[in-house]
């Protein structure tokens, strides 16, 4: 006896038939989010990752025109290139600052900032650039002198991810100091994605920093590094715990990361947690887990830590 024919499958709806419902549902989700977080509905009020990435690239070229600038640049055109590039970068920065300031005002329910505030902040940032270049020169020199494999300072600047991360950090830190934490964080996270080195823009880093290899390095917001500090890959300068308010929410901006004094070396894989101090000239060995301060000139190894905890 023959089997009855199987029922024909119900045809799936064409993608175009479902799109209006999905679009409506997404609109409803966006509306709830914007209402909860006081987001305006009259246009974008957040800085642009894409524009900030282009700005950082331009600023890198303006800081090091004959090495990170355009390959066709001639020495006699150097000043013209720097001036033109900085002018364009400051136009971008003013626009992005205005976005952040408007966003912050809306978050707080305040009136929008007065015209001219963004321009004033951009001008202050512009005047910080010579000092940024001086700090970066010290970083490049520290990397060249600290790595026997480096053949020239030009090789260090062109090739080393630690130097690329420090270029972004030096710029991001100045933006952070100007009260622009969102733009600063975007700049920092762009460098993090590019190099694998995660430096919060709030971290204070002295001259002559050398981050060797660098992948997996984490430096927290309130960390303070002195001069001529050397850090190897997979080092964490993190927080041991987070102070909280009466409702159990973490308190923002509290000092919770290490203080690393001048000429400290921290080898690969070391984890240093809490508001502790690594004294001047100390050496922290590889894979050490450290949650206590050490005096100047200390040498801390895994064997020392096992003896200390045992």
Q: What is the pLDDT of residues 113-143, one digit of tens each?
A: 888 999 999 999 999 999 999 999 999 999 9
Contact present, 93 and 56 (Cβ < 8 Å):
no
Helix (H, G, I), strand (E, B) or coil at 229: coil
Q: Count Cβ atoms within 10 A of the Cβ of residue 142 and give its class: 0-12 exposed, 13-18 middle, 19 or more buried.
A: buried
Residue range(s) occupied by CATH 2.160.10.10 in the chain: 216-310
218-237 burial string, b = 16+ CB within 10 Å, else e?
A: bbbbbbbbbbbbbbbbbbbb
pLDDT tens for each residue of 20-46? 999 999 999 999 988 887 666 566 679
pTM to 2 decimal places:
0.89
Listed range (35-44, 135-144, 172-181, 256-265) with the worst mean pLDDT = 35-44
Q: Phi first, then psi: what are they for 99, rounded to 5°?
A: -60, -45
Distance (Å, rounded) from C-alpha 166 to C-alpha 188? 9
Residue range(s) occupied by CATH 1.10.3130.10 in the chain: 47-195
Q: What is the CATH number of domain 47-195?
A: 1.10.3130.10
More confident call, 247 vs 145:
145
Distances in whole angstroms, Cα of residue 87 to Cα of each of 33, 80, 128, 147:
37, 11, 15, 36
The CATH architecture to which 216-310 belongs is 3 Solenoid (2.160)
Distance (Å, rounded) from C-alpha 89 to C-alpha 51? 10
């Amino acid at each position: 006896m023959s089997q009855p024919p199987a029922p024909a499958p119900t045809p799936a709806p064409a993608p175009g038939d479902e799109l209006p419902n999905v679009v409506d549902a997404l609109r409803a989700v966006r509306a709830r989010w914007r209402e909860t977080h006081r987001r305006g509905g009259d246009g974008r009020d957040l800085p642009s990752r894409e524009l900030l990435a282009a700005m950082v690239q331009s600023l890198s070229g303006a800081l090091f025109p004959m090495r990170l600038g355009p390959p066709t640049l001639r020495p006699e055109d150097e000043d013209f290139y720097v001036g033109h590039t900085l002018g364009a970068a400051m136009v971008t920065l003013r626009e992005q600052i205005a976005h952040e300031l408007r966003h912050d005002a809306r978050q707080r329910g305040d009136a929008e900032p007065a015209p001219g505030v963004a321009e004033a902040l951009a001008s202050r940032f512009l005047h910080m650039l010579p000092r940024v270049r001086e700090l970066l020169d010290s970083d490049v020199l520290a990397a060249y002198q600290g790595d026997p494999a480096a053949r020239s300072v030009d090789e260090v600047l062109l090739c080393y991810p630690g130097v690329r991360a420090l270029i972004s950090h030096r710029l991001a830190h100045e933006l952070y100091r100007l009260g622009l934490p969102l733009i600063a964080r975007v700049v920092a996270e762009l460098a993090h994605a590019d190099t694998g080195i995660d430096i919060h823009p709030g971290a204070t880093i002295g001259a002559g920093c050398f981050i060797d290899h660098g992948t997996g390095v984490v430096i927290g917001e309130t960390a303070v590094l002195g001069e001529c500090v050397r850090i190897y890959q997979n080092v964490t300068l993190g927080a041991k715990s987070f102070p909280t308010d009466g409702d159990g929410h973490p308190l923002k901006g509290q000092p919770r990361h290490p203080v690393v004094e001048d000429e400290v070396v921290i080898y690969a894989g070391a984890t240093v947690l809490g508001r502790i101090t690594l004294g001047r000239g100390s050496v922290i060995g590889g894979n050490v887990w450290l949650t206590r301060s050490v005096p100047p000139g200390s040498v801390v190894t895994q064997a020392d830590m096992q003896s200390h905890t045992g």
